[in-house]
Amino acid sequence: MELKITTHLGNLLQFCIDNKAHIAGKLLHAHILRIGYFTNTFLSNRLIELYSKCGHIDMARQLFDKMPERNIYSWHAILDSYCKANKLDNAHELFVQMPERNTVSWNTMISALVRNGCEEKALDVYHRMNLGGFVPTHFTLASVLSACGGLGDIVCGKQCHCVAAKICLDKNLYVGNALLSMYSKCGCVKDAVVAFGDLAEPNEVSFTAIMGGLAESDRVEEAFSMFTLMHRSGIYIDSVSLSSVLGVCTRGGNGEFCVNSQMDEFLCNVHGQQIQGLTVKLGFESDLHLTNSLLDMYAKYGDMDSAELIFSNLPEVSVVSWNVMIGGYGQKCQTDKAIEYLQRMQLHGFEPDEVTYINMLAACVKSGDLETACQIFYRMECPNLSSWNAIFSGYTQNGNHEEAIKLFSEMQFQNVQPDRTTLAVILSSCAAMGLLEGGKQVHAASIKTLFHNDVYVASGLIGLYSKCNKIEVAICIFDRVPALDIACWNSLMAGLSLNSLDKDAFTFFKQMHGKGMIPTQFSYATVLSCCAKLSSLAQGRQVHAQIVKGGYVNDVFVGSALIDVYSKCAYINGAVQFFYEMPCRNTITWNEMIHGYAQNGCGNEAVCLYKHMIQSGEKPDEITFIAVLTACSHSGLVDAGIRIFNSMQEEYGVEPLLDHYTCIIDSLGRAGRFHELEALLEKMPCKNDSIVWEVVLSSCRVRDNVNLARRAADELVRLDQQNSAPYVLLANMYSSSGRWDDAKEVREMMIEKKIFKDPELHQKCEGMPSENFFRFSISPLRVVASVSNVVPVAMLPSDDPVPLSTALTIQFYYSQCHPFIYYRVEVRMIRAGIAMVCCVLLF
């Protein structure tokens, strides 16, 4: 009779558990207490399960604590309730207190830890389970393999694979799916493909996992082939599988310069449209998750018309849908449309989340609308780290490095911990400003947050110290990075080149290549720049051969650097040949070739290439005009230069800058067309720049135009009253024309204004007694540099001939009354073995 009642009550409790009938369960609990069955362990276990299922964990625990007798199922019931409620601390405490455990106990704890992202703790529990002598089940291995995949721990994953093979579970579908998922997440796609092949009957989970792994390794076509195989094999295709293959579509063809990648992008777009058709055919067009995946695919392709069409026909819209549209328009730099969707989103009652704000920030940053980006950022109550990084990137990209550094300080005060991206961006700002002390503080912050050995941050640190002329520190940081990547090698190589250590940079490039590092486009561009500065044609050709072997010969940036090398090494024919062999060119390529012609005195060729560039549809920029105007100036093509200069703003909307005016002024000055030069000086906007007037003064010296030279000198003096160059040049010009009185006037003016040719030496001498003297030890036949601001009132030894083996000490008396006179000491050989010491007046 008792067994019958227990069975009946147990069935009723099971009905309440299945239907989450909490009230009815409590009534049954009261009935059990009334009839004296509260000591029945079976019924108490069912009650614990009921309260847990209904979310009343405390009541379940109270019941568990009051049970007079507990069995392992009682412990499992309350442990499972804690695990399902994600109360891992309570679960672990209870797990430790369990008088006995079985495989179910271990599995429950491991799966809960994995589910809550505690993969390392899950592996630790698994190792303790093995030490306890428990044999893992397919549930155990599936959870542990998932933890290995999450941690990227391929060693532990392979050990689990061996265990699965040993206990004959490697062919189990559940374990097999976990294996291929683990290998995919760890980047071992070949092993994932093998694991997939070992499955006797792969299901939709298997195909979805292998497609994701192939797509992550950019084997997009193979991922599509897997989906085709899945479809032809009759495997049930659900919305998750379709979302997965749409994710594959978004990863296809992102090439910017290569024709093949554009073809891949086209094929992936076609595949995406086919998947959309299959979605409609299978009746999943109303599945919100799937339609959001479709939206995301079209948005990432930039096909916002198709995205608009899908969005307008959605039966249900979520925050994700709005975010995708905002992000899509942001990627196309259409900030107005992104803001419009944000406003529509709020009008429809949807509150923006973190992703919304990040997408809006990214949209504003990419389009250069930093003002709107700042408004959005400061409107956020508690911006997350991604938001901080987005606004930092905006400041850096717009050259507002000082604001980025100030905001980083504010971030520190708000106790927001930076990540590798934050530190790298701020380091780039410090490097751009040459802010060494600020960079050191960021370096300290990276050490505090344990990111200093991260390759991304280390690369930024190397760049910072290189740009601040601390190349030794940069090398030290490089040597301490435990696992170097190509970015660190590139940063140090660029730093060596920046510090004029081009030979060292080239040697470093060879070391990098010898260590098995595969150079990137940046590596080749940097080392080619070194070859160009060294004017080393032989080394440039060596690198060219490696570029061909490495498959970068069609890259426009590498190609442009090669043209620069050949041009600077006076191998203009090689530069021209390579230029015309390039399959695709951009503005930089054209500019380099035009500049190459200019450097080698081929003005006519430069002008012809400039016209060819226009005819090809490429739009010239400021650098293009500097290159072609330089060519015109150096080759005497004055009229051609004037025509090109006049067309800048009229035809191409390029505002002439200082460098353009300087080129055309130099061209007119070389040709002696001073009337046109003066007319241009009157109307040019950048008159208050010393470079312009220095070019004018130099031209006047060549053509002996004294009047304009005087004006140029006056302008230079007006801009910098302590600059001695215009006085010296003008005085020399008067002297060469025989106008000695004017030259004397200029010298007297220098004395009156206390302008010195070498102000640093004058400052050292100033305040010293007038009778003080200086000694200079020289060796015979060695010309000593100019001795500024010193008048030889007496000179010892005298001008008597002396043997060449004698070391000489020349003694000068300092005099403040003639600070404008310059002398040079020379040793002149008058016959074999005999020299004469002379004092030569310079100016």
d(CA 515, CA 100): 55
| Least confident interval from 225-229, 443-447, 717-721 | 717-721
- Kindly state the helix (H) or strand (E) to which residue 693 belongs, with its residue range: helix 690-703
Q: Is the pLDDT of residue 46 over 80?
A: no
- How far apart are the C-alpha atoms of 448 and 425, rounded to whole Å? 17
Q: Which of 119, 116, 109 is CA-nearest to residue 146?
A: 119
- Examine the pLDDT at 776 and tell me if it is beyond 90: no
In the structure encoding, which two tokens stand for residue 710, read together?
């005087």
Rounded CA-CA distance 29/581 in Å is 87
DSSP structural state of residue 820: T
3-state secondary structure 662-675: HHHHHHHHHCCCHH
Q: At 694, give phi and psi (nearest 5°).
A: -65, -40
Do the strands 787-788 and 822-831 form a parallel or antiparallel pair, or are they unpaired?
Answer: antiparallel
Q: Just give the CATH number of 605-686.
A: 1.25.40.10
Q: Which of 379, 299, 305, 296 is nearest to 331 (CA)?
A: 299
Average pLDDT score over the chain: 77
Cβ–Cβ < 8 Å for 241, 207: yes
For the cut 90, the answer to whether the pLDDT of residue 369 exceeds it is no
Place of tokens 């009759």: 234
At residue 811 the predicted structure's pLDDT band, cuts being 50, 70 and 90, is: very low
- DSSP letter (8 states) at residue 15: H
The packing angle between helices 556-568 and 521-534, to 10°, is: 10
Residue pair 631/637 in contact (Cβ under 8 Å)? The answer is yes
What tokens were used for 442?
Answer: 């960021």
Query: Domain 693-755 maps to which CATH number in 1.20.120, 1.10.12, 1.25.40, 1.10.150?
Result: 1.25.40
Helices 471-480 and 455-467: crossing angle in degrees, nearest 10, is 170
pLDDT grade for 753, boundaries at 50, 70 and 90: low
Pairing of strands 773-778, 802-803: unpaired
Whole-model pTM: value is 0.59
CA distance 102 to 79: 13
Strand, coil or helix: 744: helix
696: number of Cβ within 10 Å:
27
Whether 442 and 427 have beta carbons less than 8 Å apart is answered as yes
More confident residue, 464 or 718: 464
Query: How far is residue 212's CA from residue 237's CA, in Å, rounded to a whole number?
Result: 15
Return the axis-axis angle of helices 658-670 and 690-703, rounded to nearest 10°.
10
- Which residues does 281 contact at the CB level (< 8 Å), separation at least 6? none
Confidence of residue 737 (pLDDT cuts 50, 70, 90): low
Dump pLDDT digits (tens) for 583-606. 888 898 999 999 999 988 898 999
CB 253 within 8 A of CB 267: yes
Q: Which of 471, 509, 504 is nearest to 490 (CA)?
A: 509
Kindly state the helix (H) or strand (E) to which residue 840 belongs, with its residue range: strand 834-841
- Over residues 523-551, the pLDDT tens digits come to 999 999 999 888 889 999 999 998 888 88
